Amino acid sequence: MALENLISIDFSKEELKELDHHMAGIQNIFKGKTVNITPEQRKQYGSIGNHNKLIVDKAKRYMEQHPNWIPRFLDKEEFDRDHKTREQVESRVQLLDNLSQQLLDTKTLLDHDNYTNALSFYRMMRFLAGENEPGAKPVYEDMKVLFNKSSATRTDETE
C-alpha cells in the first residue's frame, strides 16, 4: 500500500533566486532601522496589547484636538513619528507572520512526508537484512543506531 503524500511542491531555481533577491532587499531596507533586543529587554518593555493601543490612539486624538494640554516635556513630533511608523511596521509584521506560518506549515508537511518515507525505507532494510540481501545488512546496521530504545519500540509497534 502506498504511503499518503501530504504535500508535493517544488520551487524552480528562478523562483528561489527571485525569493532570495526580495528577502535581501527587505534586509537591506531594514538595515539601521530595526533592532534586536534581548529576552530581558522584551520582558522589561513588554508588548502593547489591544487595550493599550486604544489608550495610545485616544491620547493621540486628544493631543491633536487640544495641543495646549500636551506636557512640554513630551515631543509630539516624535510621538507622531513613532505612532505612524508603528502602524506601518505592524501591518508588515502581520503579513510576514502569515507568510512565515505558511512556510512553517509547508515545511511541517514536507518533514512528515520525508520522515514517513525514511521509516518505510528503514523497515525495508531491516526486512532485507533479515533475508540476507547482499549489502542490506550494513545499511540496516548503520541506520539502526539512529533509533534509541524508545523510538525503536515505537517504530516496531507501528509496522
Residue 152: pLDDT over 50: no
**Cell numbers representing residue 150 in the block:** 524508545
The string of pLDDT tens digits covering residues 81-120 is 999 999 999 999 999 999 999 999 999 999 999 999 999 9
pTM for this entry: 0.77
Sign of torsion over alpha carbons 73, 74, 76, 81: positive
Q: What is the pLDDT of residue 4?
A: 85
Q: Which of 158, 133, 136 is nearest to 147 (CA)?
A: 158
Confidence of residue 20 (pLDDT cuts 50, 70, 90): very high
Q: How far apart are CA 88 and CA 68, in angstroms?
A: 28
Residue 158: pLDDT over 60: no
Residue 28: pLDDT over 80: yes
CA angle at 111 for the pair 147 and 8, rounded to the nearest 5°: 140
Confidence of residue 154 (pLDDT cuts 50, 70, 90): low
Sign of torsion over alpha carbons 28, 30, 33, 34: negative
- Listed by start position, the domains of the chain span 49-157
What rounded mean pLDDT belongs to the chain? 92
